Amino acid sequence: MELITSSSNKFIKEIKSLNKKRDRNKKGLYFIEGLRLVEDAIKSNQPIEYILYSDKIFQLEGGEELFDKFRNQFSHYKIEHNLFKEISDTDSPQGIMAVINIRKYTLKDIIDENPFIIFLDRLQDPGNMGTIIRSADSLGASGIIISKGSVDIYNPKVVRSTMGSLFHLPIVEIDNSIETISKLKESGIKVLATSLEEAKYCYDSDLTTNILIIIGNEGNGISEELFNISDENIIIPMKGNSESLNVAMASSIIMYEVLRQRKNI
Protein backbone atom coordinates (compact mmCIF):
# COMPACT_ATOMS: atom_id res chain seq x y z
CA MET A 1 0.00 0.00 0.00
CA GLU A 2 1.22 3.48 -0.92
CA LEU A 3 2.26 5.61 2.06
CA ILE A 4 1.01 9.21 2.11
CA THR A 5 3.94 11.49 2.94
CA SER A 6 2.96 14.89 1.52
CA SER A 7 0.90 17.71 3.05
CA SER A 8 -0.39 18.44 -0.46
CA ASN A 9 -2.19 15.08 -0.64
CA LYS A 10 -5.93 15.53 -1.24
CA PHE A 11 -6.93 13.63 1.91
CA ILE A 12 -4.64 15.69 4.10
CA LYS A 13 -6.00 18.90 2.59
CA GLU A 14 -9.55 17.72 3.18
CA ILE A 15 -8.96 16.91 6.85
CA LYS A 16 -7.49 20.37 7.39
CA SER A 17 -10.49 21.97 5.69
CA LEU A 18 -12.89 20.07 7.97
CA ASN A 19 -11.66 22.10 10.93
CA LYS A 20 -13.84 24.90 9.52
CA LYS A 21 -17.61 24.82 9.98
CA ARG A 22 -18.13 26.35 6.54
CA ASP A 23 -16.31 23.48 4.84
CA ARG A 24 -17.99 20.84 7.01
CA ASN A 25 -21.38 22.18 5.96
CA LYS A 26 -20.38 22.51 2.31
CA LYS A 27 -19.01 18.96 2.05
CA GLY A 28 -21.41 17.33 4.49
CA LEU A 29 -18.45 15.73 6.26
CA TYR A 30 -16.70 15.81 9.63
CA PHE A 31 -13.84 13.86 11.16
CA ILE A 32 -13.28 11.91 14.34
CA GLU A 33 -10.05 10.57 15.77
CA GLY A 34 -8.88 8.09 18.35
CA LEU A 35 -9.16 4.33 18.72
CA ARG A 36 -12.29 4.33 20.85
CA LEU A 37 -14.24 6.86 18.76
CA VAL A 38 -13.48 5.15 15.45
CA GLU A 39 -14.37 1.76 16.89
CA ASP A 40 -17.66 3.16 18.25
CA ALA A 41 -18.44 4.74 14.86
CA ILE A 42 -17.99 1.35 13.18
CA LYS A 43 -20.16 -0.41 15.77
CA SER A 44 -22.84 2.28 15.39
CA ASN A 45 -22.92 1.87 11.60
CA GLN A 46 -21.91 5.46 10.94
CA PRO A 47 -21.57 6.42 7.25
CA ILE A 48 -17.77 6.39 7.17
CA GLU A 49 -16.27 7.86 4.00
CA TYR A 50 -12.69 6.74 4.63
CA ILE A 51 -10.13 6.09 7.37
CA LEU A 52 -6.60 7.45 7.77
CA TYR A 53 -4.09 5.70 10.00
CA SER A 54 -0.41 5.61 10.88
CA ASP A 55 1.81 2.89 12.33
CA LYS A 56 1.10 4.35 15.77
CA ILE A 57 -2.17 2.38 16.07
CA PHE A 58 -0.25 -0.92 16.05
CA GLN A 59 1.52 0.18 19.22
CA LEU A 60 -1.80 0.59 21.07
CA GLU A 61 -3.81 -2.08 22.82
CA GLY A 62 -6.62 -3.04 20.46
CA GLY A 63 -5.02 -1.27 17.50
CA GLU A 64 -4.39 -4.37 15.39
CA GLU A 65 -7.90 -5.67 16.12
CA LEU A 66 -9.41 -2.38 14.98
CA PHE A 67 -7.30 -2.43 11.81
CA ASP A 68 -8.62 -5.92 11.03
CA LYS A 69 -12.19 -4.60 11.45
CA PHE A 70 -11.91 -1.74 9.01
CA ARG A 71 -9.37 -2.82 6.38
CA ASN A 72 -11.86 -4.90 4.35
CA GLN A 73 -14.88 -2.72 5.14
CA PHE A 74 -13.85 0.88 4.40
CA SER A 75 -11.52 2.82 2.15
CA HIS A 76 -8.36 3.42 4.17
CA TYR A 77 -5.03 5.15 3.66
CA LYS A 78 -1.78 4.95 5.58
CA ILE A 79 0.11 8.16 6.36
CA GLU A 80 3.38 8.99 8.11
CA HIS A 81 2.84 9.65 11.80
CA ASN A 82 4.55 13.06 11.64
CA LEU A 83 2.00 14.01 9.00
CA PHE A 84 -0.75 12.60 11.20
CA LYS A 85 0.37 14.93 13.99
CA GLU A 86 0.02 17.82 11.56
CA ILE A 87 -3.67 17.16 10.95
CA SER A 88 -4.59 15.88 14.42
CA ASP A 89 -6.67 17.95 16.83
CA THR A 90 -5.09 16.30 19.89
CA ASP A 91 -1.72 16.68 21.62
CA SER A 92 -0.94 12.95 21.55
CA PRO A 93 -2.65 11.48 18.48
CA GLN A 94 -3.27 7.73 18.43
CA GLY A 95 -2.77 7.45 14.69
CA ILE A 96 -6.35 6.73 13.61
CA MET A 97 -9.11 9.00 12.27
CA ALA A 98 -12.23 8.63 10.17
CA VAL A 99 -14.10 11.01 7.90
CA ILE A 100 -17.87 10.61 8.26
CA ASN A 101 -20.88 11.83 6.30
CA ILE A 102 -23.12 14.11 8.36
CA ARG A 103 -26.52 12.54 9.03
CA LYS A 104 -29.47 14.90 8.83
CA TYR A 105 -32.40 14.38 11.22
CA THR A 106 -35.87 15.93 11.38
CA LEU A 107 -38.26 16.55 14.26
CA LYS A 108 -40.04 13.29 13.42
CA ASP A 109 -36.86 11.41 14.30
CA ILE A 110 -36.89 12.64 17.91
CA ILE A 111 -40.58 12.24 18.72
CA ASP A 112 -41.16 8.75 20.10
CA GLU A 113 -43.99 7.32 22.21
CA ASN A 114 -43.03 9.35 25.28
CA PRO A 115 -40.80 12.21 24.08
CA PHE A 116 -38.06 13.55 26.33
CA ILE A 117 -36.39 16.25 24.24
CA ILE A 118 -33.55 18.62 25.14
CA PHE A 119 -33.57 22.05 23.47
CA LEU A 120 -30.27 23.97 23.56
CA ASP A 121 -30.66 27.73 23.18
CA ARG A 122 -27.49 29.35 21.78
CA LEU A 123 -25.06 27.14 23.72
CA GLN A 124 -21.50 28.30 23.03
CA ASP A 125 -18.91 26.17 24.80
CA PRO A 126 -17.77 22.99 22.99
CA GLY A 127 -17.14 21.16 26.26
CA ASN A 128 -20.61 21.96 27.58
CA MET A 129 -22.21 20.92 24.31
CA GLY A 130 -20.35 17.61 24.27
CA THR A 131 -21.13 16.86 27.91
CA ILE A 132 -24.84 17.57 27.46
CA ILE A 133 -25.00 15.31 24.40
CA ARG A 134 -23.26 12.58 26.40
CA SER A 135 -25.63 12.99 29.37
CA ALA A 136 -28.69 13.04 27.12
CA ASP A 137 -27.57 9.78 25.56
CA SER A 138 -26.88 8.17 28.95
CA LEU A 139 -30.07 9.35 30.63
CA GLY A 140 -32.60 8.40 27.99
CA ALA A 141 -33.39 11.55 26.00
CA SER A 142 -35.18 10.83 22.74
CA GLY A 143 -33.24 13.57 20.96
CA ILE A 144 -31.74 17.06 21.05
CA ILE A 145 -32.73 20.24 19.24
CA ILE A 146 -30.06 22.87 18.74
CA SER A 147 -30.93 26.50 17.99
CA LYS A 148 -29.26 28.78 15.50
CA GLY A 149 -26.26 30.53 17.08
CA SER A 150 -25.05 27.46 18.99
CA VAL A 151 -21.59 25.93 18.68
CA ASP A 152 -21.39 23.43 15.82
CA ILE A 153 -21.88 19.86 17.05
CA TYR A 154 -19.31 18.66 14.49
CA ASN A 155 -16.61 20.94 15.89
CA PRO A 156 -13.71 18.54 16.68
CA LYS A 157 -13.73 19.55 20.37
CA VAL A 158 -17.47 18.87 20.64
CA VAL A 159 -17.13 15.54 18.83
CA ARG A 160 -14.32 14.44 21.14
CA SER A 161 -16.14 15.43 24.33
CA THR A 162 -19.29 13.48 23.37
CA MET A 163 -17.22 10.26 23.71
CA GLY A 164 -19.27 8.62 20.95
CA SER A 165 -22.71 9.72 22.12
CA LEU A 166 -22.98 11.84 18.97
CA PHE A 167 -23.54 8.54 17.15
CA HIS A 168 -26.34 7.30 19.40
CA LEU A 169 -29.18 9.82 19.35
CA PRO A 170 -30.77 12.13 16.77
CA ILE A 171 -29.79 15.79 16.91
CA VAL A 172 -31.76 18.37 14.93
CA GLU A 173 -30.38 21.81 14.11
CA ILE A 174 -33.07 24.45 13.51
CA ASP A 175 -33.23 28.08 12.36
CA ASN A 176 -36.46 29.27 14.00
CA SER A 177 -36.79 28.44 17.71
CA ILE A 178 -40.26 29.87 18.28
CA GLU A 179 -41.73 28.17 15.23
CA THR A 180 -40.19 24.83 16.18
CA ILE A 181 -41.33 24.91 19.80
CA SER A 182 -44.82 26.08 18.84
CA LYS A 183 -45.11 23.12 16.47
CA LEU A 184 -44.06 20.71 19.23
CA LYS A 185 -46.51 22.25 21.70
CA GLU A 186 -49.31 21.74 19.19
CA SER A 187 -48.42 18.04 19.06
CA GLY A 188 -48.93 17.73 22.84
CA ILE A 189 -45.42 18.23 24.17
CA LYS A 190 -45.06 20.22 27.41
CA VAL A 191 -42.32 22.87 27.32
CA LEU A 192 -40.20 23.42 30.44
CA ALA A 193 -37.70 26.26 30.73
CA THR A 194 -34.80 26.02 33.16
CA SER A 195 -34.65 29.11 35.36
CA LEU A 196 -32.88 30.67 38.33
CA GLU A 197 -35.99 32.31 39.78
CA GLU A 198 -39.79 32.12 39.93
CA ALA A 199 -39.71 28.44 39.15
CA LYS A 200 -40.89 25.10 40.47
CA TYR A 201 -38.31 22.66 41.79
CA CYS A 202 -37.58 20.07 39.09
CA TYR A 203 -38.36 17.34 41.66
CA ASP A 204 -41.89 18.74 42.07
CA SER A 205 -42.64 18.90 38.36
CA ASP A 206 -44.17 15.95 36.51
CA LEU A 207 -41.44 14.88 34.11
CA THR A 208 -43.10 11.62 33.07
CA THR A 209 -45.26 13.28 30.42
CA ASN A 210 -44.20 14.27 26.89
CA ILE A 211 -41.67 17.04 27.56
CA LEU A 212 -39.16 19.40 26.02
CA ILE A 213 -36.62 20.98 28.37
CA ILE A 214 -34.99 24.25 27.30
CA ILE A 215 -31.37 24.80 28.37
CA GLY A 216 -30.02 28.34 27.96
CA ASN A 217 -26.81 30.06 26.91
CA GLU A 218 -23.93 29.95 29.44
CA GLY A 219 -23.86 33.70 30.03
CA ASN A 220 -27.34 34.94 29.22
CA GLY A 221 -29.56 31.95 29.90
CA ILE A 222 -32.75 31.38 27.93
CA SER A 223 -34.03 34.13 25.66
CA GLU A 224 -37.11 36.02 26.84
CA GLU A 225 -39.04 34.82 23.80
CA LEU A 226 -38.57 31.21 24.82
CA PHE A 227 -39.49 31.93 28.44
CA ASN A 228 -42.71 33.48 27.21
CA ILE A 229 -43.64 30.44 25.16
CA SER A 230 -42.80 27.83 27.83
CA ASP A 231 -45.50 26.11 29.90
CA GLU A 232 -43.54 25.93 33.14
CA ASN A 233 -40.23 27.08 34.63
CA ILE A 234 -38.12 24.64 36.63
CA ILE A 235 -35.14 25.09 38.93
CA ILE A 236 -32.67 22.86 40.79
CA PRO A 237 -32.87 23.35 44.57
CA MET A 238 -29.54 24.50 46.00
CA LYS A 239 -28.30 24.75 49.56
CA GLY A 240 -24.83 26.32 49.41
CA ASN A 241 -23.65 29.81 48.54
CA SER A 242 -23.08 29.33 44.84
CA GLU A 243 -25.58 31.24 42.70
CA SER A 244 -25.66 28.70 39.90
CA LEU A 245 -24.17 25.53 38.42
CA ASN A 246 -22.26 25.00 35.22
CA VAL A 247 -24.84 24.55 32.44
CA ALA A 248 -23.68 21.02 31.60
CA MET A 249 -23.84 19.94 35.25
CA ALA A 250 -27.26 21.53 35.77
CA SER A 251 -28.58 19.90 32.61
CA SER A 252 -27.33 16.49 33.72
CA ILE A 253 -29.03 16.82 37.13
CA ILE A 254 -32.36 17.67 35.52
CA MET A 255 -32.04 14.86 32.97
CA TYR A 256 -31.29 12.43 35.78
CA GLU A 257 -34.48 13.56 37.53
CA VAL A 258 -36.43 12.79 34.35
CA LEU A 259 -34.94 9.28 34.32
CA ARG A 260 -35.63 8.82 38.05
CA GLN A 261 -39.29 9.75 37.69
CA ARG A 262 -39.79 7.63 34.61
CA LYS A 263 -38.14 4.61 36.21
CA ASN A 264 -40.77 4.83 38.97
CA ILE A 265 -43.76 4.81 36.60
Work out how many domains the chain is built from and give that number: 2
Mean pLDDT of 158-179: 97
Query: Does 175 share its domain with 247?
Result: yes
Query: Does 128 share its domain with 31?
Result: no
At 113-166, the pLDDT tens digits run 899 999 999 999 999 999 999 999 999 999 999 999 999 999 999 999 999 999
Q: What is the CATH number of the domain that holds 42?
A: 3.30.1330.30
- Give the pLDDT band (50/70/90) at residue 242: confident
Q: Which residue has the higher pLDDT, 195 or 101?
A: 101
Query: Does 232 share its domain with 153?
Result: yes
Q: What is the pLDDT of residue 21?
A: 96
Displacement of CA 48 from its chain's centroid (Å): 17
Query: Does 91 share its domain with 133?
Result: no
Residues 238 and 65: their CA atoms lie apart, in Å, by 48
At 70-124, the pLDDT tens digits run 999 999 999 999 999 999 999 899 999 999 999 999 999 999 889 999 999 999 9
Q: Which of 101, 125, 155 is the last residue of a domain?
A: 101
Displacement of CA 257 from its chain's centroid (Å): 21
Task: Indicate the SS3 state at residue 180.
Answer: helix
Query: Does 95 share its domain with 126?
Result: no
pLDDT > 60? residue 265? no
Residues 90 and 106: their CA atoms lie apart, in Å, by 32
Residues 112 and 142: their CA atoms lie apart, in Å, by 7
Domain range holding 143?
107-263
DSSP secondary structure letters along 191-256:
EEEE-SSS-EEGGGS--SSSEEEEE-BTTTBS-HHHHHH-SEEEE----SS-S---HHHHHHHHHH
Task: Indicate the SS3 state at residue 166.
Answer: helix
Q: Which residue has the higher pLDDT, 47 or 89?
A: 47
Residue 75: C-alpha distances to residues 19, 71, 244 (Å): 21, 7, 48
Residues 240 and 235: their CA atoms lie apart, in Å, by 15
Query: Does 258 share its domain with 214?
Result: yes
Query: Does 47 share its domain with 133?
Result: no
pLDDT > 90? residue 244? no
With vertex at residue 104, the alpha carbon angle to CA 101 and CA 107, rounded to the nearest 5 degrees, is: 160
Strand partners, 79: 4
Q: Which of 101, 129, 163 is the last residue of a domain?
A: 101
Mean pLDDT of the chain, nearest integer: 95
